Amino acid sequence: MMIPSLLTMLLATTGDLKVGQFGMPVQASEVAPVIDNIFNFITWICIFFFVIIVGFIVFFMFKYSKPPGTPATSNVTHNTPIEVAWTVLPLILVIFIFYKGMDGYIDLRSAPLGAYEVNVVAQKWNWTFHYKNGATTSVLIVPANRPVKLIMSSQDVLHALFIPDFRVKQDVVPGRITTLWFTAIKAGEYDLYCAEYCGQQHSTMLTKVIVLDDADFDTRITEEANYIDKIPPDMLYVAGPRLYMRCKSCHSLDGSDMTGPTWQGLWDRTVDGEQVFTDGTTLSNLMGAGKLFDGPEDYVTQSINNPQQKIRMNYSGSMPTFKGQLGPLEVMAIIDFLKHLDKFDTDGNPLDSADDLATILDAAKAAEAASSNE
Ligand code: HEC
Ligand SMILES: [Cu+2]
């Protein structure tokens, strides 16, 4: 019947979720079909009038074609019924479209009371999601079939949070709080993008929304809140790859220069105090008891919490602060990761499976379950 919907049906991959017409992705939120209906309605009106108008143009082109040189014969003045029809009918259509659009928009703007709230911080070039129980993640984890409200702000420039499968998008503006809400209807993984060009690595602001059923959600979010406490203290570096997700748009592990200096060899350089700063000072002269930096650990900590304090020669001061976003234990884990980079490949994957965070957390969970069963 309809070619576009047939095509999207053939391309559909996600279980029993309905796929939108005209190449739209799956409808994975409550509001998605509402948005699609009005979008489809407008598109079908366009197709309808396009076919009629272009059809008549082509038809008349042949029907009234005359040999060159024939004098024009038309003496049409005006036709009141036709003019009233082409004014009133579109007016009704447009008012209807406005009404549907406004109605949906008002719904989209006001989250229902009791929605599950997640605070969102956008910065160049990643997302951080903060939950009520203290958990912080770089993917958005939400419960299914329950309204979720995102309370969003930006640390630097204009970003926009966009979840195509949910049909929601909202600008994230520095110095302002914007909100967005949705109800996801099915457990699964969906893409989340930044939809506002926000600088060189804009395209890396791509992450996932993980929708979980209620019980799974509660367990997962509790685990997220205290995952770092579950890591044996002498192995904090295993949290490195996970934390590095927030840094990798600017820092490489393979020695290549990006917006920021590579982390390869960073620890050794820092211990030796080799770094030279834009004001001409050198780290070795600034480090030691009573000086600006207490030692290499303190230098890295201050570089994370107050990056503008000393800026490395030949780099810009474009690193955002992570103060308040990374807890003390997380900063320690990053330092430990820098000390143990030899245990990881240049993408940040552990070389030895014993250093895999997920494995360690699973083991900790199993041990906990075993001890509570006794
Ligand atoms: C938007 C890009 C960007 C992001 C994201 C970023 N940094 Fe940086 N970082 C820089 C730049 C640029 C510098 C060099 C200028 C300076 O010293 O502030 C830098 C410098 C550093 C330094 C000092 C490096 C040295 O060689 O002395 C450390 C440590 C550091 N960053 C850690 C982090 C950590 C940890 C994260 C993630 C939690 C992170 N950065 C995320 C851009 C970034
Ligand atoms: Cu962005």
Residue matched to tokens 């197709």: 47
pLDDT tens, position by position, 120-166: 999 988 999 999 887 888 899 999 999 999 999 998 999 999 999 99
Whether the CB of 261 sits within 6 Å of ligand 1: yes
* Residue-level pLDDT at 5: 45
Question: What would the mean pLDDT of 178-182 be, rounded to a whole number?
Answer: 95
* Residue-level pLDDT at 239: 93
CA quadruple 337, 338, 342, 344: dihedral, nearest 10:
50
Whether the CB of 299 sits within 6 Å of ligand 1: no
Calculate what percentage of the chain has a pLDDT beyond 90. Answer: 64
* Residue-level pLDDT at 364: 84
The whole-chain average pLDDT of the chain stands at 90
Residue 260 token pair: 């920021």
Atom of ligand 1 nearest to the CA of 299: 29
**Helix %, strand %, coil % of the chain (to 5):** 45, 20, 40
Task: Show Cβ contacts of residue 7 under 8 Å, excluding neighbours closer than 6 positions.
Answer: 23
* Residue-level pLDDT at 323: 86
* Residue-level pLDDT at 69: 85
Domain 231-373 has CATH 1.10.760.10: yes
Distance of alpha carbon 59 from alpha carbon 84, whole angstroms: 24
Alpha carbon of 208 to ligand 2 centroid (Å): 15
Domains 3-62+80-109 and 116-227 share a fold: no
pLDDT tens, position by position, 290-300: 999 999 999 99
* Residue-level pLDDT at 13: 44
Whether the CB of 240 sits within 6 Å of ligand 1: no
> Class of 3-62+80-109 per CATH?
mainly alpha
Pocket test for ligand 1, best of 250, 268, 298, 313 (most atoms within 8 A of CB): 250
Residue 86 token pair: 């082409």
Q: Examine the pLDDT at 46 and tell me if it is beyond 80.
A: yes
Whether the CB of 249 sits within 6 Å of ligand 1: yes
Alpha carbon of 136 to ligand 2 centroid (Å): 19
User: What does the domain layout of the chain look like in residue ranges?
Assistant: 3-62+80-109, 116-227, 231-373
pLDDT tens, position by position, 68-83: 888 877 777 888 999 9
> Class of 116-227 per CATH?
mainly beta
Atom of ligand 1 nearest to the CA of 261: 26
Alpha carbon of 301 to ligand 2 centroid (Å): 25
- Provide the pLDDT confidence category of residue 168 given band limits of 50, 70 and 90: very high
Atom of ligand 1 nearest to the CA of 124: 1
